[in-house]
Amino acid sequence: MELGLRDKVAVVTGGGSGIGAAICHQLAREGVHVVIADIDMEAAARIAEEINLAGGKALPVYVDVGNAEDVERLMAYVTAQCGGLDLAVNNAGIHGMRNPTGTYPIEEWQRVIRVNLDGVFYCVKHQINAMLERGSGSIVNISSILGTVALPLTSAYTAAKHGVVGLTKAAAIEYARSGIRINVVGPGWIDTPLVTDIQKAASSSRRMDALQPMGRRGKPEEVAALVCFLLSEQASFITGSYHAVDGAYTSH
């Protein structure tokens, strides 16, 4: 579908892998100039090369989203280099340790919250200010099914992802009259390196597989399609809302 995004500028955090990489590819096919911001520069550069070789426009940039100064520098660089910011996808995330809450290590809690919640806040804060300069913009934050329901042993991840839903709603109301739409997407169990990692670490991932109503995991491209739609003007009256792409997992 042509989404009318040609020549827009987008920043995608965690664009070097999995869901983020699929979003970068799909945006580039729509004619968007994509800034791929990732802590893994090699991965970001690889995706940028794939896009540029296919005739798209992509620029890899280093960022640790959990570092407020890094994020401020990233956004200043994007506005200077690309002349402004139209679209943003805050997707970078980590899964964190699986452990009961009573013995959840404090350092691990802080590590997960730093990337998965603080990181989204830093990004949204600077993206809003860049978009206010243009008087328009669209942001999609990537939460999870664990932004609305819980999975035992994942209190830090579940808390962070619920937090991203709340942050999105508050910010969306604040800027609804400023031409900026902010939405949140909750992917289900999607086939990416993050899930492969969890699988290596936990037999419970087999239980997750067994719980999928469609009998399969989602594909990163299936998340990317929803994100690109929400970023576009096709979604002009959609803001402040949570959108699941989970094959009915949270319908149980």
Ligand X SMILES: NC(=O)c1ccc[n+]([C@@H]2O[C@H](COP(=O)([O-])OP(=O)(O)OC[C@H]3O[C@@H](n4cnc5c(N)ncnc54)[C@H](O)[C@@H]3O)[C@@H](O)[C@H]2O)c1
Pick the closer one to ligand X by CB: 117 or 180. Answer: 117
Minimum CB–partner distance for residue 119 and ligand X (Å): 6
Minimum CB–partner distance for residue 191 and ligand X (Å): 7
The question of whether 242 is a catalytic residue gets the answer no
Pick the closer one to ligand X by CB: 98 or 134. Answer: 98
Minimum CB–partner distance for residue 14 and ligand X (Å): 3
76 contacts 125 by C-beta, under 8 angstroms: no
Minimum CB–partner distance for residue 158 and ligand X (Å): 11
Task: Name the active-site residue from 157, 175, 242, 249.
Answer: 157
Strands 242-245 and 87-90: unpaired
Pick the closer one to ligand X by CB: 130 or 160. Answer: 160
Interacting residues toward ligand X by CB under 6 A:
13-14, 16-20, 38-40, 43, 63-66, 91-94, 115, 119, 142, 144, 187, 189-190, 192-195
Of residues 146, 170, 143, 160, the one with CA closest to residue 239: 170
Pick the closer one to ligand X by CB: 203 or 236. Answer: 203
Of residues 177, 103, 99, the one with CA closest to residue 135: 177
Question: Could you give the residue numbers annotated as active site?
Answer: 157
